[in-house]
Amino acid sequence: MFAYLLRRLFYTLPIALGVTLLSFLLVYIAPGDPLNAIAPADAPAEVVTALKAAYGLDKPLPVQYGLWLARAVRGDLGVSIASGRSVRTEVLSAVKNTLMLAAFAALLGMVSGVVLGAIAGNHIGGWADRLASGLSVLGVSVPHYWLGLVLTIVFSVWLDWLPAMGAGPGSSADGGNGWAWDWAHFRHLVLPGVTLCVIPMGIVTRTVRALVAETLQQEFVMALWARGLGRVAVFRHVAKNALPTILAVAGLQLGYLMGGSILVETVFAWPGTGFLLNTAIFQRDIPLLQGTILVLCMFFVALNLLVDVLQPLIDPRMRRA
């Protein structure tokens, strides 16, 4: 197991290095000058030169990348051009909010997806299978932003049950007054969480349906039935064989929820990384963009490494392979 862990870690290191390079270079593809956020277009040349030197924008890209990577390894992601605050502080605050939202959405999506998929896999061709398959197709087809707007209209405007924006009473775009685990704050999490959960629900439903249906046709399951095991005992064996694949899909979906929530967070003004990215893009805030993208990508890499480590613990056959 230790050799397997070292091998997976060795494979992860070049991926992480490539992620840092892409995180640094991608923001330079977008048009515009980042200094426009702090200096007017008619600023004197000496002022522009001084600002470029202050933010390190006067150096060649390879040098900028080397200096940025050296600081990032130490945890220093620079200073936001637009706000003048530490990028690390802003990103960590946003990551906390996004992680909370993504975990809630992933929990809803995984639980509902596993239940629907298991029911559909046990009743292939029946009405339950058709209903679960229809819900899964609908989940992956409906646009996030459209569903968020519909839920806001229904539950916030018409029924006035849930708040339409923010992360709590009196919250603001930079995180508000902090999170507390009470109903006043949790009700702000419901609408964006439900909006985000529909895609993982649909993907997990289709995955579990196929795995359960395939596993039920294998010879060892027929042998279990022949030995007189009950439905619960047989399902336990089926779930154990399907769990590694479900775990891999769940890890990927949590990573996608962390990085793909920009539209949902913008619709609900949720102060997470998606909302922060949207703000940084419009302000052309390069340090904030680079820091946010880097943290999200590294979280995705670490999550995949964690899944790779957990899978052989559940199914030792994968370790031998």
Q: What is the pLDDT of residues 52-73, one digit of tens each?
A: 777 777 788 888 888 888 988 8
Domain with CATH 1.10.3720.10 in the chain: 88-320
Q: What is the mean pLDDT of the chain?
A: 82
**CA neighbor of 195 nearest in space, from 130, 270, 124:** 270
Give the pLDDT confidence score for residue 320 in this predicted structure.
53
> How far apart, in whole angstroms, are the C-alpha atoms of residue 37 and residue 222?
67
In sequence order, what are the beta bridge partners of 86?
79
The CATH homologous superfamily of the domain defined by 88-320: MetI-like (1.10.3720.10)
User: CB neighbours (10 Å) of residue 224?
Assistant: 18
Q: Please, which pLDDT band fits residue 316 given cuts at 50, 70 and 90?
A: low
Give the pLDDT confidence score for residue 194 in this predicted structure.
92
Mean pLDDT on 168-177: 56
Residue pair 261/101 in contact by the 8 Å Cβ criterion: yes
3-class SS of residue 125? coil
Query: What are the tokens at 83?
Result: 């706000």
Flag whether pLDDT at 150 surpasses 90.
Answer: yes
Backbone angles phi, psi at 81, to 5 degrees: -70, -40
Least confident of 24-28, 214-218, 235-239: 24-28
